[in-house]
Chain A
Amino acid sequence: MLLIHCPYCNETLPELEYAYAGEAHIARPANPSEVSDEEWAEFLFMRSNVKGIHYERWRHLHGCGRFFNAVRDTVSDKFLTTYEAGAPRPDLDTLVNTPAEGGK
């Protein structure tokens, strides 16, 4: 069972409270009518599917209901950190060397 830290509720809770919401930092095109089919395919379907450090979205479905981002190792399934949606990607070097809060 994963334990996941919600950055809004500031609590670390079982994964059953959460819904996974796919890869993070994929921005919807600003001008949809000008986007080519290739770019739509890239936005909608193509995923990096990383083996290793993965940036991803979660939703605290049975809690505050809000989306947030997480950095997780997809081999060990350990969370390195979680952070609020809209915040920039955290710096990986610092994360790997100093496990942050919620990195259980």
Chain B
Amino acid sequence: MTHFSAFSLLKNALTGHKNWTEQWPDAQPKAEYDVIIVGAGGHGLGAAYYLATQHGITNIAVIDKGWLGGGNTGRNTTIIRSNYLYDESARLFDHSVDLWQNLSQELNYNVMYSNRGVLMLAHNVHDVQSFKRHVHSNRLNGVDNRWLSTEECKEYCPPLNISKSSRYPVMGGALQERAGTARHDAVAWGYARGAAARGVDVIQNCAVQAIRRNDDGSVAGVDTDKGFIKAKKVAVSASGHNSMVMATAGVRLPLESMPLQALVSEPVKPVFPCVVMSNAVHAYCSQSDKGELVIGSGTDQYVSYGQRGGLPLIEHTVSAISEVFPIFNRMRMLRKWAGITDNTPDRSPIIGKTPVPNLYVNCGWGTGGFKATPGSAHVFAWTIAKDEPHPINAPFTLDRFRTGRLIDEAAAAAVAH
């Protein structure tokens, strides 16, 4: 593995960039692994990376039916934040934000983490009360978040329309300055490179057809397009397809898979300094380093595995953006796409053990998984290695749907994560 540095960049520039080596090999499956991770997105690759670096387990395969990072890792709007209401969620997501701070240095791979701040706008009295409650709750949990007046919002994000006569007047906002964005592809690539350098096999274009179990019920391995692969432990991290993969092991999950759409505009010069979210009108927006406005839409209301999504949602999103940011109302949109999100009833993830011995699942991230990538991967690796949950993910069990100890961020956030 080439170590990236100013020196290696200079050296390769002088030799015409002809001598860069491949960042990870295109591995073929071996007959047996200690751990097989299903799904080569950020969460799965990250779990492999932390298993290798922190738990000394390197005989790992990460298997994906498509290409690396081609699922929701490459389809989200790259927003990172941790201003969640409940204690459990605040700990989980802030753990992730902690890891984001030095991720580029740790991976020796520029994930372009930019803590440009996430501003959540309040448009009515209820929003104001709800967001102030979030600010107080976050501060009690040691999570960065503070309240801004209307004028302070305008100062922080100049393109904002704060006219009192606008359809959705801005009555203030909650600002998390530690929050921001990152380059989503680079997260998957960085973890893949780091994991592969320590002996992890990243196997692409190889669908897992079924999880095979021993007579005693424990996991035996996985049947794939390239034949059966034996494994001591299997960890499933397959986003929208978790229900289908886990069903082959006889485990039913409280998930519904729905398309979540996003779109980008034509690239323009830097105009938009932060991330702005408006839950009430359901618009969220940031500007990528390429100059495109990155706009997130909502999920379709029905179960679907078609990575397209319906146009009514795009229409709704674009009209909301035009209302909150009138300066964008003549911008042309370049393209839109969708990823399949797996949503739990309480909109909190499930990270942990399953009723099947040696089978683990990391699912239910719904519309908010990207921000959690490092934290999720870190606690999932812990859970796999030690066969018990890390204190941070201990509340996020599958069993909470039986006991009723839900972590109801659906009610707390009401909308986009």
Contacts and interface: CB of A to CB of B under 8 A. Distances in A.
A100 B311 CA distance: 25
On chain B, which size bracket covers the interface?
Answer: 20 to 34
A68 to B, nearest CB: 14
A22 B312 CA distance: 20
A46 B310 contact: no
A76 interface: yes
Given A44-B401, A74-B306, A15 B254 contact: no
Interface stretch (B111-119, B190-198, B200-208, B297-305): B297-305
Contacts, number: 70
On chain A, which size bracket covers the interface?
Answer: 20 to 34
Interface string B300-340: 01111110101110000000000000000000000000000
A91 B303 CA distance: 21
Given A15-B312, A38-B402, A41-B401, A47 B306 contact: no
A47 B305 contact: no
A45 B304 contact: no
Contacts of B342: 49
* Most chain B Cβ neighbours within 10 Å, of A20, A48, A49, A77: A49
Nearest to A76: B306
Given A38-B402, A49-B253, A1 B304 contact: no
B310 A49 contact: no
Interface string A46-82: 1111110010100000000000000010111100000
B311 A49 contact: no
14 contacts: A1-B311, A23-B303, A37-B403, A38-B402, A40-B402, A41-B402, A45-B254, A45-B345, A47-B253, A47-B254, A51-B241, A72-B302, A75-B304, A77-B308
A50 B243 CA distance: 8
Contact of B243 (A16, A49, A77): A49
Contacts of A54: 303
Given A15-B310, A15-B312, 20 more contacts: A2-B302, A20-B302, A37-B403, A40-B402, A41-B401, A42-B252, A45-B254, A45-B345, A46-B252, A46-B253, A47-B256, A48-B247, A48-B252, A51-B257, A56-B302, A56-B303, A75-B305, A75-B306, A76-B306, A77-B308
A22 B303 CA distance: 8
B254 A77 contact: no
A49 B256 contact: yes
A1 B314 CA distance: 11
Contact of A50 (B253, B303, B311): B303
A48 B401 contact: no
A96 interface: no
B412 interface: no
A1 B303 CA distance: 15
Given A37-B402, A47-B256, A77 B301 contact: no
A27 to B, nearest CB: 16
Contacts of B308: 77
B244 interface: yes
A76 B404 CA distance: 35
A19 interface: yes
A100 B256 CA distance: 26
Nearest to B404: A37
